[in-house]
Structure 1
Amino acid sequence: MPTGDADFIRAYLTESVEALTAFQSEPAYRQTMTAMADSIVTALRAGRKLLIAGNGGSAGDSQHIAGEFISRLMYDRAPLAAIALTVDTSVITATGNDYGYEHIFERQILGLGQTGDVFLGISTSGKSPNIIRAFDASRDRGLISIGFCGAVGGPMRDRCRHLLEAPSGKTAIIQQIHIVAAHIVCALVERAMFPRDAA
């Protein structure tokens, strides 16, 4: 192992634990996750769906989250309507080529979104242009906007009904908090939608 690697690992794990501890200890995060879950439950009970988008690692998180809703998280139950807007390469490349990369999620929201749907936009920086445009399209189409970002919410703050700002400025740590939050939100939705199974 190269000199300094052990120190790097120790420092990284310490920073990760500190961020998770801050996330665990702040009541506002619990309130935000509960509010996000409530919004999703309301939409699903009305026959609507959850749409999710992000870039890079957040694109992977979008697919991960959709998988938890469609398949299962904590226990067996019926599938819940969720779509990751990061998976259709033909739509993404056509839109990127014809209109520009900043439109790849906006066009899908305008084409697939319905009033009462929920859009979860994920951006560690809080300012990804294609996520911001998707939030604006969601507003125009009557979707409920919720978001995950880092410690500096940026323009997402004015566009989300509920925004979870992970207590870190480092992308990798932010993403760790995001997937923990996503699992909690999904679990809360499961418990509300299928309370008998939750017991």
Structure 2
Amino acid sequence: MSDRSTAVPVADVLPALRELAETAARTADTLAEDVARAATLVRDTVRGGGTLFFCGNGGSAADAQHMATEYVVRYRRNRRAYPAVALTTDTSLLTATGNDFGFDHVFSRQVEALCRPGDLLIIHSTSGQSPNVLEAAKAARAKGVAVLALSARDGGPLRALADHNVIVPTDRTDRAQELHLCIQHLICDLVEAEL
């Protein structure tokens, strides 16, 4: 069998990379203050002995798990473990809640059981419209737990339920998720540097 493959043309790669870079530059130009405030919320939660709780759906669920791991294990520095939990990982809990109460409550049930004042719920949602993250935000507010939302577009209904929003200026889900992770890594780095 002969090798008929040819290289993907560089010209096919550059537009996507440039578009990502442009979105990142727009984010830096417009959201620096919002990101700094988000970093302050996270730092103050960890400093005060609170727990960071993360949730999201699909790729945002993966980002939630990724970031909880960065806080518990380490990001760039060896330091003490910070308390962080991804509400996206317990399959028994998620399926039982989905079966008994409906998928809209897979996160809110956990918030109700686990979160306390002084904790921080960090929601990743590119649309800000998913019913289960909206229910999680409502449950957090009912318990006196602060909510930090990372979203895109116009922030959706989640915007009004969050104590603070970081809304990436894009309509593309993939770009929003890429930049949410970049922002979250920046915040984690800042927290590690201070604590």
Q: CA deviation at 1:46?
A: 2.3
Residue 103 of structure 1 is matched in structure 2 by 105
What whole-Å deviation, never above 9, does each CA across 1:16-64 have from its counterpart, x for those lacking one?
11101111222xx221122112112222222210000000000000011
**Which residue of the other structure, out of 175, 184, 188, is the alignment partner of 2:190?**
188
Q: Which residue of structure 2 aligns with residue 197 of structure 1?
A: none
Q: Which residue of 2 aligns with 1:153?
A: 155
Larger Rg belongs to: 2
Name stretches of at least 5 consecutive residues in structure 2 with no aligned partner: none
1:128-152 Cα deviation digits (max 9, x unpaired): 1100100000000110100100122
| Distance in structure 2 (CA, Å) of the matches to 1:182 and 1:23 | 13
Structure 1: segments with no counterpart, 5+ residues: 194-199
SS in 1 for 2:157: helix
Equivalent in the alignment of 1:116: 118
Which of the residues 40, 43, 46 maps onto 1:41? 43
CA distance in 2: counterparts of 1:82 and 1:134, whole angstroms: 16
Percent identity (aligned): 35
CA contact 2:38–2:166 (8 Å) conserved in 1: no
The residue type paired with residue 10 of structure 1 is L
Letter in 2 for 1:15: E
Provide the aligned C-alpha RMSD in A. Answer: 1.8
Counterpart of 1:61? 63
Counterpart CA distance in 2 for 1:192 and 1:30 is 18
**Residue 9 of structure 1 corresponds to which residue in structure 2?**
13
Q: Please identify runs of 4+ aligned residues in structure 1 that moved more than 4 A.
A: 4-8
Quote the residue 2:27 is aligned against: 23
Using the TM superposition, give the Cα deviation of residue 74 of structure 1 relative to its aligned residue in structure 2, in angstroms.
1.7
Is the partner of 1:154 in helix, strand or coil? coil
Letter in structure 2 aligned against 1:150: A
Does the CA contact (< 8 Å) of 1:34 and 1:188 recur in 2? Answer: no
Determine the C-alpha separation between the residues in 1 that align with 2:158 and 2:51.
21
